[in-house]
Amino acid sequence: MITREQLKEFDIQLILEIESELQSAKERFPTKLNSLHEGYAIISEEFDEFWDEIKKKEQDRDLLKLKTEGIHVIAMMIRTLQDLVI
């Protein structure tokens, strides 16, 4: 069984990976998003890649790719909020 401390460490690591992806995206694409529609399009594209991995048979799924695509979705949601809402 996973301990509360291990779960907390996992959460911290995941947040750091999301932050790293967010910063990487900002370096690759330094211009702020132009509209919520653009943000939605990027999020949708990333989510499609995440969904493609989910649709595979369980034994064929690449869990690292699933995690990576999930992180991309979250990072782009944060980016959209930062650029256009907050």
Whether this prediction's pTM lies above 0.85 is answered by yes
Determine the Cα–Cα distance for residues 8 and 39; give it in Å rounded to an integer: 30
Q: Which residue has the higher pLDDT, 7 or 78?
A: 78
Residue pLDDT, tens place only, 3-56: 888 878 888 999 999 999 999 999 999 999 999 999 999 999 999 999 999 999
Q: Which domain holds residue 35?
A: 4-84
* Residue 67's pLDDT band (cuts 50, 70, 90): very high
pLDDT (0 to 100) of residue 5: 86
**8 vs 61: CA distance, rounded Å:** 26
Average pLDDT over residues 65-79: 96
How many structural domains compose the chain?
Answer: 1
CA dihedral 61, 64, 41, 82 (to 10 degrees): 150
Buried b / exposed e along 16-36 (16+ C-beta atoms within 10 A): ebbeebbeebeeeeeeebeee
